[in-house]
Amino acid sequence: MSNTTPEKMQKYAILIVEQLQQAGFTTYFAGGSVRDALLGKDPVDYDIATGATPEQVMAIFPKSINVGKSFGVSRVPIHNTWFEVATFRTDSAYHNGRHPTSVTYSTPEEDAQRRDFTVNAIFFDPISKKIHDYVNGRQDIENKIIRCVGNPIERFEEDHLRMLRAVRFTSVLSFTMEKETADAIRATAASILKISPERIRDELTRILVESPKSGDAIILLDNVKLLEQILPEIKAMQGQKQPPQFHPEGDVFEHTVLMLNLMTKKDKLLAFSVLLHDVGKPGTAIVAPDRIRFNGHASLGAKLSKEILKRLKFSNQDQEDISTCVGGHMRYMEVKNMKQSTLRRLVGATTYPTEVELHRLDCLGSHGGLENYEHVKAFEEKIKNEPILPKPWINGHDIINLGITKGHKIGKIHKQAYEAQLNGDFQSKEDLYAWLKEQYLPTRAK
């Protein structure tokens, strides 16, 4: 879709329906737009279902493109906004857990029976304003239930990704999953690994970012046996005890779920940083004389995070950013003891906004103390009108003018001078350079 306003998008979608109906073809809105409208939400896009074949759609809209001709799917442009128009169909047997081997054009009633969930199988005629519901989807919306259309085992065997979609719709809509649908996922959960990692990644991302309670979504993934399939490292956090004086909330899994539920800022980097921040704890847990300890869990967590994210085909940048947040999340315990130069580098990091929010959630999801968070935020406020990492006052030429010629020593002195500048030890370049002269010119004279 383009940047078209919701009002214009609806207007254009209705125009497509109107033209197809005028040509004699039964045509309705279908799927998510109908569901969202019944929930009182503004649809984000419009899928259109019609009795017209792709060839007939193209005859009416010559600029349309057949993107799935074998499945009866066309893309129709109206004022630079594209809409998906699908011919009513029934599907034959699925050959790869994702796509049918062939389709047969059919009626709206038959088309509804091939769809995934009842809440997504309702049609709406925007011209007559009439709802066409052949699967009791409207009742399931009213009762806030996610239920497969027909036999749930068959629906999930047709398209394994529907298992994750069931979790997403249940979590994002704050609905309840119907028992037979949940049981069917448990029975076929291992099939999810036949789906490409990219599709699993995209569904998992939407679950974490779009769910009002992302932690509850992880619990649902576990309840239907999908968590152990796609994220066994998260499953392994269950039962891993923590010292109660720091973690009165429970084990590592319970702590992570609580943090996810506390998220108000929803983005991919934060969600996965929270999910993975303590993934290294089970592998580092030791029972010391004083308490349970997890020495090195952050560095192991960073390593495991990269492995998990690589397995799910995340971009190299996402792998780097999330593993950086995971690997550095314990640093915030020491912010009160950090030199100003170290704090500046902490606040100046590209991942800082995610890291500091991860730390806040880590505290709220455990002992509740926010002293370190408040300290670093106060420092951020203090330097808000300054460059966080200003240009160095002293350069290589300045150091050479001191008579220093060895390259490694020049680098060492340059780093020393910049640290002193960041720490605020000197008020100007002249003061800093005068100090360097005192340090190194006498040595040269000797």
Closest CA relative to residue 49, chosen from 117, 106, 118: 106
Domains 1-142 and 144-230 share a fold: no
Question: pLDDT at position 182, please?
Answer: 98
Closest CA relative to residue 181, chosen from 118, 244, 97: 118
* Token couple for 166: 């069931």
Question: pLDDT at position 446, please?
Answer: 39
The pairing of strands 122-125 and 27-30 is antiparallel
Residue pLDDT tens, the chain, 446 long: 457 788 999 999 999 999 999 999 999 999 999 999 999 998 988 999 999 999 999 999 999 998 866 778 999 999 889 999 999 998 756 555 555 565 788 999 999 999 999 999 999 999 999 999 999 999 999 999 999 999 999 999 999 999 999 999 999 999 999 999 999 999 999 999 999 999 999 999 999 999 999 999 999 999 999 999 999 999 999 999 998 888 989 899 999 999 999 999 889 999 999 999 999 999 999 998 888 999 999 999 999 999 999 999 999 999 999 999 999 999 999 999 998 888 988 999 999 999 999 999 999 999 999 999 999 999 999 988 877 777 887 888 778 777 776 777 878 888 888 888 788 888 888 888 888 888 776 554 43
Q: What DSSP character marks residue 68?
A: E
Q: What number of other Cβ atoms are within 10 A of residue 67's Cβ?
A: 13
Q: What's the rounded Cα separation, in Å, for the pair 357 and 310?
A: 24
What phi and psi values does residue 63 have, to the nearest 5 degrees? -90, 5
Handedness of CA 374, 378, 384, 389 (dihedral sign): negative
Please tell me whether residue 317 adopts helix, strand or coil conformation.
Answer: helix
Q: What's the pTM value of the predicted model, to 2 decimals? A: 0.86
Question: pLDDT at position 2, please?
Answer: 55
Q: What DSSP character marks residue 168?
A: H
Q: What's the rounded Cα separation, in Å, for the pair 167 and 160?
A: 12
Q: What's the rounded Cα separation, in Å, for the pair 424 and 288?
A: 41
Q: What's the rounded Cα separation, in Å, for the pair 98 and 444?
A: 74
Question: pLDDT at position 396, please?
Answer: 80
Question: pLDDT at position 57, please?
Answer: 95
pLDDT in tens, 211-267: 999 999 999 999 999 999 999 999 999 999 998 888 989 899 999 999 999 999 889
Cβ atoms 281, 294 nearer than 8 A: yes
Where exactly are the structural domains of the chain?
1-142, 144-230, 250-382, 396-445
pLDDT in tens, 49-58: 999 999 999 9
* Token couple for 306: 């990269």
Q: Does domain 144-230 have CATH number 1.10.110.30?
A: yes
CATH number of 1-142: 3.30.460.10
Please tell me whether residue 79 adopts helix, strand or coil conformation.
Answer: coil
Cβ atoms 83, 12 nearer than 8 A: yes
